[in-house]
Structure 1
């Protein structure tokens, strides 16, 4: 625990998901005296995360990539296949990272490995105190913010960074309004083993109920996100593992051979969330506390990690000029820096998802034409690939060690 309730720290981070852990590590490594307040880290999450290039670079910056890379599988190609069966269908499109002189677009790894490595480094990080407790109240003062945990003394800091998720108590305490929406869809998530190699290729089938996405894992295994109706979700989850494997293999047109179920299926209703402001009085929102949308194009966590990188850069710059890191002026720069990226990604993912659900012919034509141009016009291909990874991508991502493909 922090030594006294009177001590004022630089930053208190609430929430120990990947965004919160990464933020705490980044701030501490930059020399900010940081406190992380959250219940124990989730080390049982069997889902996976596709880390795009800038996310891998951020993890390299905070010194955790060497520990993560052995669990990561490169995503060298991204393939999109129209499996809607509708009158107007888009051509198959494959994006290759080599076209951008990149080793990979990103890397896929299991959440439990990501969380464990981040938690282990956090426990040893200089300038970082990890309080494994639930934050229960917040007092936003003129000079500092006070966070009270369930069992500990109040913790004071110049800035609160809220990473406590879509049902954030910190955001609610600050009175920040939300825009919420939902979809008539459920994501069924599990891991698979298969007979044929995936060749480091992520494949996304566009179906009438949403994306069906296979993302490479080490060896001949992949993670799956299958978006279906709520009724179809219940049907899939009720199947035996043998029947489920066969059903999913058929949906994948056997492109990577016979399937075997490698993890317990989980299901998540799809919804969206956008905070009307990313900041409050001595408060910055990051990750799913600020924005939530469907699992399409590996944008969710990567968008949150760009929040972290942006905030870290702005706070370091503010400290260099002697500015108050929790001031309204500094936080307004964060809001300005992140709003366009968040709004653009939210709109694009929402539009693509809704385009799969409609039978309206002009929308089908527009989606098909867009993918056709993306396939046939090289400058547009390169632009879309760069923007898909992150705005302004130019660098090579850290290579994965031999033997983990």
Structure 2
């Protein structure tokens, strides 16, 4: 039997961020992941401004910049022809932490985190966790690996995704609510240059999301029905691309690149979830193991970074890593993060509904919300500030009425008073 201070299970962004944050405290961290190498998955490619200070503190930002990460200055909701309905101009945010989005593909982001791991963090890939170890009182005290090794630890972190084996082993549950659509992800190469922004096109067939990646590449997500492209042959894929461009004329310059990219597409399920409880004695949930959101608002990866930062902040106050001190920190982590994640989930869900709901009522409300939010400087800034992760300022019921145009807002041309 071996021992360490912390075992982190799962080397996605949540697990790597946790290893960086806790390892940065000088703690011995064992980070394990069942995959033998990084896989090319289209997810988690945009950091919000609120994540940037943590990325700098952990040394990740420097590796991302060396790898050519791009700064995106706006998030824009557009009509199919490209006309902007609502523009969140990140340049208006305070400049102290960085007032831009930072984009790179997911494998490059994982490599940047890996390169930034502190000396006290050990990464073992191709290592499967079979079960949790527990004390007589039920407290989690470590993990059992598939090769039979038992690792004792003062803290175990489950960062092993939405289907988390460790979460289930700890008796924690989460209700996953599936959206009635999927997202097709495509990486376009040799494509014409696009604006340096995060553009969401609102079309009669749902969301089309586009942003630039380093190396002259473009990421495009397209909303589809669950079985829309299942088993599609070359002719059907070509017809689908033609329909996509016909429905979204602003994407016409990308049509040839789309045709080349669609055979390599990834079709991703989309869901939302928040575990009622993020901790048990000795164990914390981080990232997708505890919460998932629709990617429309670019919140998932940033929430995992915030999880890691919060956990490290509270564990750092423990002094010695006694069971009592760690569990006290976990209680604080669970309370603080659950409150923040409830707002993040609501923000992401509302943003997704505005552009993905294809019902008559959903499209009408979504169009009104985009139009009136886009014309209201106060609400627009509040939404942007919340999405950027710079502090929680929830919209009031009165704000919601202003947002869908049922009441005029006499403060619509002003910045929020708290700004």
Report the TM range for the smaller structure's normalisation.
Answer: 0.7 to 0.9
Q: Indicate the residue corresponding to 1:332 in structure 2.
A: 331
Structure 2: give runs of 5+ residues left out of the alignment: 393-419
* Distance of 1:212 and 1:27 partners within structure 2: 38
Three-state SS of the structure 2 residue aligned to 1:347 is helix
* Distance of 2:271 and 2:165 partners within structure 1: 19
Q: Indicate the residue corresponding to 1:371 in structure 2.
A: 370
Q: Indicate the residue corresponding to 1:357 in structure 2.
A: 357
* Distance of 1:348 and 1:19 partners within structure 2: 20
Alignment partner of 1:77 is 2:74: yes
Q: Indicate the residue corresponding to 1:137 in structure 2.
A: 131
* Distance of 1:209 and 1:29 partners within structure 2: 46
Structure 1 residues 210 and 310, CA gap change in structure 2 (3 angstroms): farther
Deviations 1:269-305 (A, max 9, x none): 2223321211112111010000122221111111111
Structure 1 length-normalised TM: 0.84
Deviations 1:201-240 (A, max 9, x none): 1110123454210011135431011111123233767557
Report matched runs for 1:34-113 at 5 Å. Answer: 34-40=29-35, 42-47=37-42, 49-69=45-65, 70-83=67-80, 92-102=85-95, 104-113=99-108
Deviations 1:238-260 (A, max 9, x none): 55776665444444423572331
Task: Using the TM superposition, give the Cα deviation of residue 149 of structure 1 relative to its aligned residue in structure 2, in angstroms.
Answer: 0.6
Q: Indicate the residue corresponding to 2:299 in structure 1.
A: 299
Report matched runs for 1:220-369 at 5 Å. Answer: 220-234=216-230, 239=235, 246-255=242-251, 257-259=253-255, 260-261=257-258, 263=261, 264-319=264-319, 324-327=324-327, 329-355=328-354, 356-361=356-361, 363-369=362-368
Structure 1 residues 323 and 196, CA gap change in structure 2 (3 angstroms): same
Task: Using the TM superposition, give the Cα deviation of residue 41 of structure 1 relative to its aligned residue in structure 2, in angstroms.
Answer: 5.5
Q: Indicate the residue corresponding to 2:185 in structure 1.
A: 189
* Distance of 1:388 and 1:300 partners within structure 2: 11
Three-state SS of the structure 2 residue aligned to 1:230 is coil
Structure 1 residues 192 and 293, CA gap change in structure 2 (3 angstroms): same
Three-state SS of the structure 2 residue aligned to 1:137 is strand
* Distance of 2:36 and 2:55 partners within structure 1: 18
Deviations 1:146-187 (A, max 9, x none): 201111521011111100011111100110122122122111
* Distance of 2:214 and 2:246 partners within structure 1: 22
Kindly indicate whether the alpha-carbon contact (under 8 Å) linking 2:299 and 2:344 is maintained by their aligned counterparts in 1: yes
Structure 2 length-normalised TM: 0.81
* Distance of 2:161 and 2:380 partners within structure 1: 34
Kindly indicate whether the alpha-carbon contact (under 8 Å) linking 2:142 and 2:155 is maintained by their aligned counterparts in 1: no
Structure 1 residues 195 and 11, CA gap change in structure 2 (3 angstroms): closer
* Distance of 1:144 and 1:176 partners within structure 2: 13
Q: Indicate the residue corresponding to 1:119 in structure 2.
A: 114
Structure 1: give runs of 5+ residues left out of the alignment: 85-89, 394-405
* Distance of 1:253 and 1:221 partners within structure 2: 20
Q: Indicate the residue corresponding to 1:23 in structure 2.
A: 18
Three-state SS of the structure 2 residue aligned to 1:296 is helix
Pick 1 or 2: higher relative contact order, CA cutoff 8 A, min separation 6: 1
How large is the RMSD of aligned CA atoms in angstroms? Answer: 2.8
Q: Indicate the residue corresponding to 1:200 in structure 2.
A: 196
**What is the aligned length?**
379
* Distance of 2:53 and 2:301 partners within structure 1: 14
Three-state SS of the structure 2 residue aligned to 1:390 is coil
Structure 1 residues 304 and 279, CA gap change in structure 2 (3 angstroms): same
Task: Using the TM superposition, give the Cα deviation of residue 116 of structure 1 relative to its aligned residue in structure 2, in angstroms.
Answer: 2.2
Task: Using the TM superposition, give the Cα deviation of residue 364 of structure 1 relative to its aligned residue in structure 2, in angstroms.
Answer: 4.4
Three-state SS of the structure 2 residue aligned to 1:232 is coil
Deviations 1:74-129 (A, max 9, x none): 11111102459xxxxx971112222225464311111111122323443xx32112
